[in-house]
Homo-oligomer: A and B are copies of this chain.
Amino acid sequence: MNEPQGKRTSVFTTPWFQIFAEQTPDEGQPHYVIEGKDFVVIVAVTRDNRILLVRQYRPPVAEVTLELPAGHIEPGETPEQAARRELREETGHEADNFKLLASLSPSVARYTNRMYCFFAADARPVINPTPEGEPVSLVFYDRGARALIDDKEFYSAPSCAALYLAALRGDLPM
């Protein structure tokens, strides 16, 4: 990333993200910039092409949703190491090859961080999943990518972007 044009001042902090007000010379209102950790999103399929998903209650939307396995990149980790760890923790699965599909921004209008989208084929169970925090259940989605696109529970943009990209790149059978 380039250097910001304006001066950034921290105005609100949580354990997960921090908000900065960036004042540029030509603007009245500051631009509010959200700084979060980089994260990974993983499109992983089993040998028989079932997509590994997680189902959990999400407070912001007050609903149970389906998402791809995902999580923050911890200090010292590469994006691929984080993807391997998150897939293991959230689904109990491993895979030999993790292919980087793209490095996207959650939103260039608001966020400084990046989301790394990976594809992993032939995922196999190795341990019991050990999700942190709230109850998360593992779903082996066997109705195919086309049905998942239309699934009413699957609507979080980071998951959608990664899944659609894997489909368009030809990694994920439709």
Q: Range of interface residues on chain A?
A: 35 or more
Query: A25 an interface residue at 8 Å Cβ cutoff?
Result: no
Chain B residues with CB under 8 Å of A3's CB are: 62
Rounded to whole angstroms, the CA-CA distance of A22 and B96 in the bound complex is 39
Copy total for this chain: 2
Q: Within 8 Å of chain B (Cβ to Cβ): is A15?
A: yes
- Are A165 and B158 neighbours in the complex by a CB distance under 8 Å? no
Contact between B32 and A16 (Cβ–Cβ < 8 Å)?
Answer: yes
In terms of DSSP, what is the predominant structure of the interface of chain A?
mixed
A60 to B106, CA, bound (A): 11
Q: Mark A1-36, 1 if CB is under 8 A from B, else 0.
A: 111111000011011110100101000010111100
Contact of A112 among B2, B5, B32, B60 (CB under 8 A): B60
A141 within 8 A of B: no
